[in-house]
Amino acid sequence: MTLLAADIGGTKTRLTLAEKTANGISFGRTQVYDSGAHPNFHSIARLFLGEERPNAACFAVAGPITLEAEGEACGVTNLPWHLDSRVLSKELGIKRVKLINDFQAVGYGIEHLADSDMLTLQAGQALQHGVRAVIGAGTGLGQCVLVWTGNVYDVISTEGGHADFAPTSDLEFELMKWLQRQHGHVSIERVASGTGIASIYKFLCERWPQLLSTGLKNAISDSGDVAATLATWPEADPLARQTLALFAKVYGAQAGNLALTVLPRGGVYIAGGIAAKNIGLMQGGAFMDAFRNKGRMSQLMDTFPVRIITHPHVGLHGAMYLAARL
């Protein structure tokens, strides 16, 4: 049986084919596309498949899924794309097509990770079959929760990244007011994400213009990617250092908020490209200090295992394993 899976994000879209046999799933051809360079997902899928027609497909989408009578529909949060499982099934010639949230896919993928696919920030006290929480900053901020059903984990999607940003310092209150003037409502995703890093940097440049480095400014202009440039820029630059430290603090605080909400005694998993590509930043102390800094609940926070997912395609694999169930 031939299977198709896709991980559809605001920046990149990844597709892969696999064969399901009695011995398991054998992954095959994989391709990565620039999402913004295509008018819709349909065109990417047709380009990738050519003449191939898989038996089933599961597409992980960065956006809220709407359940309908005979399938699912979804708009991509950071792209003007709309996907409908029934339309995709017809246009691509695939009998069974399922849409799931991209962080649901990460949740399903966790079950198939090896220890070498993760890095531990806090050992905690793991409880077998305990609730698990997943949070991940990339283009946006995704969150999901895993609950044991007796045989497997069921993955509950959320849009928690769009909850309110909760400042915890004078500087963060200034940042929130600065963001309110631009956006009105300020979600946590406005800060704890790749675009959030760019916003923090711009805010700090306006607050402390005397610290602005011409070299860093030119490097950002040349690359066009604030977050990626700051991640590789020397720590001696005060604005680069302050930007990343503030991002890590806000990110860690939100991970802690999620943990308090669902009590993940099975562990907190940090997904998304930013953490995996910036291990030093995540291990620097600001993230975990903010995670644990919950007043009377600080001792409770010490009990939750916290791990960074380093596997680059956990969501894509999660979608594939769900496709196999179809």
pLDDT band at 103 (very low <50, low <70, confident <90, very high): confident
- Using the structure block, give the residue that is written with the tokens 């940042």: 175
The residue ranking higher by pLDDT, 181 or 223, is 181
Residue 116: HSE in the Cβ half-sphere, 13 Å Cα cutoff: 0
Q: Identify the bridge partners of residue 155 per DSSP, sorted by sequence position.
A: 146
pLDDT mean across residues, the chain = 93
More confident residue, 33 or 10: 33
pTM: 0.87
List b or e across 161-200, with b for residues whose CB sees 16 or more CB atoms inside 10 angstroms.
bbbebebeeebbeebbebbeeeeeebbbbbbbbbbbbbbb
pLDDT at 235: 77
Give the model confidence (pLDDT) of 157-166 as tens digits: 888 999 999 9
Distance CA 15, CA 41 (A): 11
pLDDT of 95 > 90? The answer is yes
CA 301 to chain centre: 22
Q: Does 134 score more than 90 pLDDT? A: yes
pLDDT tens across 109-118, in order? Answer: 998 899 999 9
User: What tokens does 263 get?
Assistant: 């009590």
Instruction: Please give the average per-residue pLDDT across 235-249, as a whole number.
Output: 92
Q: Is the pLDDT score of 200 beyond 80?
A: yes
* Token duo for residue 213: 């480095």
Give the pLDDT band of residue 68 (cuts 50, 70, 90).
confident
- Reported as a pLDDT band with limits 50, 70 and 90, residue 89 is very high
Percent of the chain with pLDDT over 90: 79
Please list, residue by residue across 255-273, b when 16 or more beta carbons sit within 10 angstroms of its beta carbon and e when fewer do: bbbbbeebebbbbbbbbbb
- Predicted local confidence at residue 284, as pLDDT: 92
Residue 213: which pLDDT band, with cuts at 50, 70 and 90? confident
